[in-house]
Amino acid sequence: MRRYTTVRIAIFSMILQSALSLVSFASFVRAYRHASASLYAAYPVAQRWLWLIALLWSLVTLISGLALLRGRGWGRVSYACAACLALLAYFIVAPWPLALCAVPVAEATTAVLFSRAGTHYLRDDAARHNAASGWRARFATLCFVLSSTLLYLTHLTMCTTAGWIVRVLPGWPAWTTLIASTVLIAVGALLSQKGSRVWRSGVALMVFVVVDAFALLGYLPYAPALARYLGPAYRPYDMLWGVAIALTSIIGALALTMLQMSRVPRPRAPLTMPDYL
């Protein structure tokens, strides 16, 4: 049975990235709810529109990703339309480096969803139902989701020395959440079917790599060397770029190796010899 690995990674990345964006926005609003009026007034109008565009795009992306998991073809259409409108609005409202960084995310995801594999995935009900059947498979999926999420939050917090984990767990040691992420992915692998353990673990790691790479791309315009192109309303953002790129590359290489190891060979068509009799 075909696994549609690339399509699944794209859909899972859509869901995880948009969900984390919405949670981050909600936590920001909750943290500064008492000073929301003064904080809102401190930002220019263009920045407020930028927040609204990003919020709406994340919401549509989450809905589209969940629809695609259920095999709804309108999910990729809604994502593509929202991406086009969001990019157009970004280039109108935001500085060009910020708008430009959003292009690879939208183009790569749209290309995968509208590829031949994406079309076949939407038509293959058996592959989708088989991947999520049974309580063990569902619990394993939950472990993989939590592992990718925890790994992403930990990595981003390590590289930026800020974020959700620092606010919730001040003084947290990074190795504890890294161990927790490793344990979760191991539990998910053990609960998966015997022939799919390495593959599902590789998918979970690759989802982290994709989401993390897109997040790093979003931080790129705020690097000290590029922040001056954003205008006076924006400030540079310090990040341990060497650590971020190195760790993402290592995990990406590991995930790619696992996916290659678990690749299911396609059956070859039987040879037909000419009949000379």
Q: For 180-227, how does the pLDDT look when each residue is reduced to its tens digit (9 = 90+)? A: 999 999 999 999 888 889 999 999 999 999 999 998 898 888 888 888
Quote the CA–CA distance of 233 and 206 in Å, as a whole number.
35
For 173-182, what is the mean pLDDT? 82
Residues 6+ apart with CB under 8 A from 67: 74, 75, 78
What is the C-alpha separation between 227 and 167, in angstroms, rounded? 26
**Which of 1, 3, 4, 10 is closest to 206 using CA atoms?**
10
Single-letter residue type at 253: A
pLDDT in tens, 229-269: 887 777 787 788 888 899 899 999 999 999 999 886 665 65
Does the structure show a pLDDT above 70 at 57? yes
pLDDT of residue 219: 85
- Tens-digit pLDDT profile for residues 17-40: 999 989 888 877 776 666 656 666
DSSP letter for 196, please.
Answer: G
Q: Tell me if 23 sits within 8 A of 214, measured CB to CB.
A: no
Q: Please check the confidence at residue 130 and state whether its pLDDT lies above 80.
A: no
pLDDT value at position 204? 94
Instruction: Give the count of beta carbons closer than 10 Å to the beta carbon of residue 183.
Output: 13
- Amino acid at position 101, single letter: C
What are the tens digits of pLDDT across the range 66-124? Answer: 999 888 999 999 999 999 999 999 999 888 888 898 999 999 999 999 999 999 998 88
Using 50, 70 and 90 to split pLDDT, how confident is the model at 160?
Answer: confident
Backbone angles phi, psi at 172, to 5 degrees: -70, 140
Q: Which residues, including other chains, have CB under 8 Å from residue 38's CB and lie 6 or more apart?
A: none
pLDDT for position 171 = 63
Report in angstroms the alpha-carbon separations of 22 from 17, 51, 169: 9, 11, 20
CB 2 within 8 A of CB 124: yes
Report whether pLDDT(271) > 70.
no
Lookup: tokens for 252? 């990406």
User: Which are the contacts of 103, defined by CB distance < 8 A and separation ≥ 6?
Assistant: 87
* pLDDT tier at 172, thresholds 50, 70, 90: low
Is-contact 61 85, C-beta < 8 A? no
CB 198 within 8 A of CB 262: yes
Q: Are 262 and 199 in contact (CB under 8 A)?
A: yes
Q: How many CB atoms lie within 10 A of CB 56?
A: 14
